[in-house]
């Protein structure tokens, strides 16, 4: 889920749609109109002085524009970084209230976006008895999975921009870091879908892209291997 641009105050709205996925039926039932791959609705705010037009794409990207009701002109100050004042603050507050309502009433909560990630989390819960732990305030989308017997991590799922991973194209991708022996890690890096460990020790860890480049069964086997390796370690 990505959110619209805007000033510093609006940047906080990104948290409103964190771990959220649009639900088409809920959007329609709440008055959104579907057209050309997106859902749109206009909300009247501040006693009808302004209209907030919200657009939600099928992929979950959210954008909005604010217009003065009387003139029909866009109220751009709400999107200008550094624009301050009590009135601008009121308009921004009204936008936040609208978007919060859309998030709560028209979106489903989804901790992980990619199908492969969700399937893998289910596998780890069922076969390793591990639950995702969101340990980092700065990186709320990162989840660690521990071996119960010794409390050590055997997997970490992260949401990382493609550019940081050295991958072409815009946007981001969910990945999983797994542990193995240095010899096996070296072998993995020679295969498509495998990368040098992101933000972890590259000698004993490696990264797998969870974008269906690598088959589910293969990743499950690698998760089981990482789990067994870490489980054999003492506290």
pLDDT in tens, 95-118: 999 999 999 999 987 888 889 999
Predicted confidence at residue 7, as pLDDT, reads 38
Query: What is the average pLDDT value for the chain, to the nearest integer?
Result: 89
pLDDT in tens, 134-145: 998 888 889 999
Check whether residue 82 and residue 126 sit in a common domain.
no
Check whether residue 99 and residue 123 sit in a common domain.
no
Predicted confidence at residue 235, as pLDDT, reads 62
Check whether residue 104 and residue 185 sit in a common domain.
no
Domain carrying residue 32: 8-109
Instruction: Decide which of 189 and 13 is more confident.
Output: 189
Check whether residue 68 and residue 122 sit in a common domain.
no
Kindly report which listed range (72-76, 95-99, 103-107, 191-195) carries the lowest average pLDDT score.
Answer: 191-195
Q: How many percent of the chain have pLDDT more than 90?
A: 66
17 and 103 in contact (C-beta within 8 Å)?
Answer: yes
Check whether residue 147 and residue 194 sit in a common domain.
yes
Predicted confidence at residue 20, as pLDDT, reads 84
pLDDT at position 61 over 80 = yes
In a domain, 80, yes or no: yes
Check whether residue 105 and residue 184 sit in a common domain.
no
Quick one: CA dihedral 34, 90, 20, 30, positive or negative? Answer: negative
195 and 209 in contact (C-beta within 8 Å)?
Answer: yes
pLDDT at position 53 over 60 = yes
pTM assigned to the model: 0.61
Can you give the CATH number for the domain in which 174 is found? 3.90.1150.30
Q: How many helices (H) and strands (E) does the chain have?
A: 6, 11
The last residue of one of the domains, among 109, 133, 150, is 109
pLDDT at position 5 over 50 = no
Check whether residue 91 and residue 179 sit in a common domain.
no
In a domain, 71, yes or no: yes
The last residue of one of the domains, among 88, 109, 130, is 109
If one counts the domains in the chain, the total is 2
In a domain, 66, yes or no: yes
Listed in sequence order, the DSSP H helices in 107-158 are 115-128
Check whether residue 120 and residue 225 sit in a common domain.
yes
pLDDT in tens, 7-24: 334 446 667 887 788 999
- Mean pLDDT, to the nearest integer, of 16-42? 93
Listed in sequence order, the DSSP H helices in the chain are 8-11, 24-29, 86-106, 115-128, 182-188, 216-231
CA dist list (Å): 225 to 115, 127, 162: 22, 12, 26
In a domain, 2, yes or no: no
Ordered DSSP codes for 183-205: HHHHHHTTSTTEEEPSSS-TTTE
């Amino acid at each position: 889920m990505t959110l619209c641009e805007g000033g510093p105050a609006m940047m906080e709205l990104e948290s409103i749609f964190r771990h959220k996925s649009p639900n088409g039926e809920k959007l329609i039932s709440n008055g959104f109109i579907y057209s050309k791959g997106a859902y749109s609705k206009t909300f009247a705010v501040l006693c009808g002085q302004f209209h907030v037009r919200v657009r939600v794409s099928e992929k979950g990207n959210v954008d909005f524009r604010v217009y003065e009701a009387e003139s029909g002109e866009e109220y751009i100050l709400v999107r200008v970084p550094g624009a301050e004042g009590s009135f601008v603050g009121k308009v921004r507050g009204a936008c936040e209230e609208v978007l919060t309502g859309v998030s709560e009433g028209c979106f489903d909560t989804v901790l992980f976006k990619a199908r492969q990630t969700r399937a893998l989390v289910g596998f780890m819960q069922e076969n390793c008895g591990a639950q995702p732990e969101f340990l980092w305030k700065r990186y709320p989308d990162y989840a660690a999975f521990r071996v119960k017997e010794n409390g050590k991590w055997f997997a970490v799922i992260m949401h990382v921009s493609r550019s940081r991973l050295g991958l072409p194209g815009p946007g981001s991708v969910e990945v999983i870091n797994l542990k193995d022996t240095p010899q096996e890690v070296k072998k993995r890096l020679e295969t498509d879908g495998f990368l040098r460990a992101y933000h972890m020790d590259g000698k004993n860890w490696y990264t797998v892209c969870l974008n269906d480049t690598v088959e589910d069964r293969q990743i499950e086997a690698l998760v089981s291997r990482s789990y067994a390796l870490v489980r054999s370690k003492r506290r």
